[in-house]
Amino acid sequence: MIIFNRNRRLRTTQAIRDLIRETTLTTDDFMLPIFISEGKNIKKAISSMPGIYRHSLDLTIKEVKELWSLGIKAVNIYVKVDDKLKDNTGKEAWNPDGLMQQTIKAIKDTVPEMVVMPDVALDPYSIYGHDGIVENNEILNDETVDALVKMSLSHAAAGADFIAPSDMMDGRVAAIREALEENGFQNVGIMSYAAKYASSFYGPFRDALDSAPGFGDKKTYQMDFCNAREAINETLRDIDEGADIVMVKPGQAYLDIVARLYEIVDVPISVYQVSGEYAMIKAAAQNGWLDNDKAIIESLTCIKRSGASLISTYFAKEAAKLLNG
């Protein structure tokens, strides 16, 4: 049989496969989401995310040194806020001495090169578990944007490198950018959660922060998973408003969105491999149904292949160890 295009020739040996490889995953691609709680010497396991913990600040500092030594260059910070500090205004979110602000400072003091990207949204601070201020069961847009601006300025003052709004309010990127410029934070960037879908894959994260919405769902601000063109619109708006990096979230089931954006936008795209994606791989691996290490590397490499420059992943530490050999 004469076959002119034997595609298998390029798969014959590992060396050939290495030579023609299109995508190479490295620790430079990773951001690690970290969960922080009040207290000292606390390391609390999150049952729906085996291997992931909520740490108090003292232990977080140790952890961050280790992350840096593994080659992880960025952290996304999420705090668990005491119930007594929650209300409907979210005002604890811009307390200059709040847990988030202390965490940002402490990490920058310990590992100044670490890129610190605190989450901006009101849900951990909200008695309703919603990302914004609530009135008559509605999540108010403009009032929430004012709160997010205060929150962002307090993060910048604490030393954040990037503000990372995950709330999906309209107009918040422009408002945050303007406030940063006006207050001398020209070099603080914005990584906007530009195309963030209302997703069932956030379940374990809400366990970690005890931040599940108290009523309803987040469909009036997060996107409908049936839509792709809307994601392009959202993302282009955020870029116009001054976003330096745009995020698609979740990852695995949404890589078509990443691939489409990659063709259209010229800013770096980040992807959030969310808590539910982590939990699925971990649960299957714990049952012996798939190979933990291979599934981690494959899932992350495929996210990169789709067009992501940065990947926020709970596997960052494990993957760094695998890649470092």
Residues 6+ apart with CB under 8 A from 262: 269, 306, 307
Among 205, 221, 254, 315, interactor with ligand PBG by CB under 6 A = 205
Bridge partners of 77? 34, 118
Binding test (CB under 6 A) with ligand PBG, winner from 202, 221, 254, 315: 202
Tokens of 238: 């955020």
Residue 63 · residue 19 · CB < 8 Å: no
Site string for ligand PBG, 150-189 (x = CB under 6 A): ----------------xx----------------------
Task: Look up 62 and say whether it is catalytic.
Answer: no
> Among 77, 248, 274, 296, which residue sits at the site for ligand PBG (rule: CB under 6 A)?
274
Closest C-alpha to 203, from 278, 125, 313: 278
Minimal distance, residue 146 CB to ligand PBG, in Å:
17
Considering only the stretches 24-32, 50-58, 96-104, 118-126, report the one whose residues sit in contact with ligand PBG under the rule CB under 6 A: 118-126
| Of 185 and 201, CB closest to ligand PBG | 201
Q: Which of 73, 105, 108, 249 is catalytic?
A: 249
Between 218 and 304, whose beta carbon lies closer to ligand PBG? 218
- Residue 259's Cβ-side half-sphere holds a number of Cα atoms within 13 Å equal to 9
Point out the catalytic residue in the list 86, 108, 196, 317: 196
Residue 280, amino acid: M
For residues 30 to 69, the per-residue mask of contacts with ligand PBG, x marking binding by CB under 6 A and - elsewhere, is: ----------------------------------------
For the question of residue 249 being annotated catalytic, the response is yes
Provide the phi-psi class of 210: left if phi over 0, else alpha when psi is between -120 and 50, else beta: left
> Which of 70, 75, 111, 121 contacts ligand PBG by CB under 6 A?
121
Alpha helices (H) along the chain: 14-20, 57-70, 99-110, 141-158, 172-182, 203-209, 229-240, 255-264, 275-286, 292-306, 316-324
The one-character DSSP state at 308 is -
101 forms part of the interface with ligand PBG (CB under 6 A): no
**Where on the chain is the footprint of ligand PBG (CB under 6 A)?**
119, 121, 123, 131, 166-167, 202, 205-206, 218, 274-275
